[in-house]
């Protein structure tokens, strides 16, 4: 007679089983499927390795923690975003030409991220609820995966992410991104119209600070010109 642990294990749906079969060697995809089914806290490295068809030693050779897997997923989203955006206008290498160009580029970057995130929306809903209860994992992800993504979004718009101004831009853009992410998680429309409207409004509100062309900056320019 087979031994039991006494713990009930939630059975995977046929759809999830089929997805696992096609991504058996991809621990990142397996982790996301398991998180969507069982929650962030319930998923262990052992379960990820088993569902991936990998020995623990092989999984350890690639990732040392669930947070590593999550950061790897964030890198994939960054790459998908940059690929979808294509190469920026060469003029952006010397800084953005105008605020409208910055807004358009940031809008395109964030929406490209949501397009890439769509296949794992269920897992992201779970993580948004549960990661705050795992402060170590949350801190690692915020300092690694999210910060990295914000740097690439700023770069794609021709904005410098370095220095004090870069810190301000990252905080502003991070707030806009996370706020819009919450809207996207509730937006089940195929065209994501609600998400796009919210993002457009938030970018418009913060554009002066993101580009350094806010009211205080314009006053300084006028004072310098008249001196």
Task: Give SS3 for 155.
Answer: helix
Per-residue pLDDT tens digits of the chain, which is 227 residues long: 444 444 444 555 655 544 544 445 799 999 999 999 999 999 999 999 999 999 999 999 999 999 999 999 999 999 999 999 987 666 665 555 588 889 999 999 999 999 999 999 999 999 999 999 999 888 888 888 899 999 999 999 989 888 998 999 999 999 999 999 999 999 999 999 999 999 999 999 999 999 875 443 443 344 444 54
143 is written with which tokens?
A: 């300092």
Number of Cβ atoms within 10 Å of the Cβ of 73: 20
What is the structure's pLDDT at 9? 47
What is the structure's pLDDT at 77? 96
What is the structure's pLDDT at 90? 66
What is the structure's pLDDT at 223? 40
Cβ contacts of residue 209 below 8 Å, gap of 6+?
168, 169, 172
CA Rg value for the chain: 21
What is the structure's pLDDT at 153? 94
Cβ proximity of 105 and 203 under 8 Å = no
Query: Whole-prediction pTM value?
Result: 0.78
* Residue ranges of domains in the chain, CATH in brackets: 14-58 (1.10.10), 66-215 (1.10.357)
What is the structure's pLDDT at 194? 97
What is the structure's pLDDT at 87? 77
Cβ proximity of 96 and 156 under 8 Å = no
């Amino acid at each position: 007679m087979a031994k039991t642990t006494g713990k009930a294990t939630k059975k995977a749906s046929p759809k999830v089983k089929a997805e696992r079969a096609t991504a058996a060697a991809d621990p990142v995809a397996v982790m996301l499927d398991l998180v969507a089914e069982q929650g962030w806290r319930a998923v262990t490295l052992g379960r990820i390795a088993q569902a991936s068809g990998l020995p623990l030693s092989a999984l350890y050779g690639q990732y040392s923690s669930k947070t590593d897997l999550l950061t790897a997923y964030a890198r994939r989203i960054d790459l998908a975003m940059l690929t979808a955006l294509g190469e920026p206008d060469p003029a952006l290498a010397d800084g953005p030409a105008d605020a409208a160009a910055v807004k358009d580029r940031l809008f395109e970057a964030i929406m490209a991220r949501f397009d890439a995130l769509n296949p794992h929306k269920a897992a992201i809903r779970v993580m948004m609820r549960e990661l705050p209860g795992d402060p170590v994992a949350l801190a690692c992800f915020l300092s690694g995966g999210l910060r990295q993504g914000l740097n690439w979004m700023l770069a794609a718009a021709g904005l410098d992410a370095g220095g004090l101004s870069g810190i301000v831009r990252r905080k502003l853009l991070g707030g806009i991104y996370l706020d819009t992410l919450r809207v996207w998680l509730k937006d089940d429309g195929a065209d994501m119209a609600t998400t796009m409207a919210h993002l457009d409004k938030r970018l418009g509100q913060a554009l002066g600070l993101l580009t350094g062309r806010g009211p205080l900056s314009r006053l300084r320019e006028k004072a310098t010109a008249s001196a």
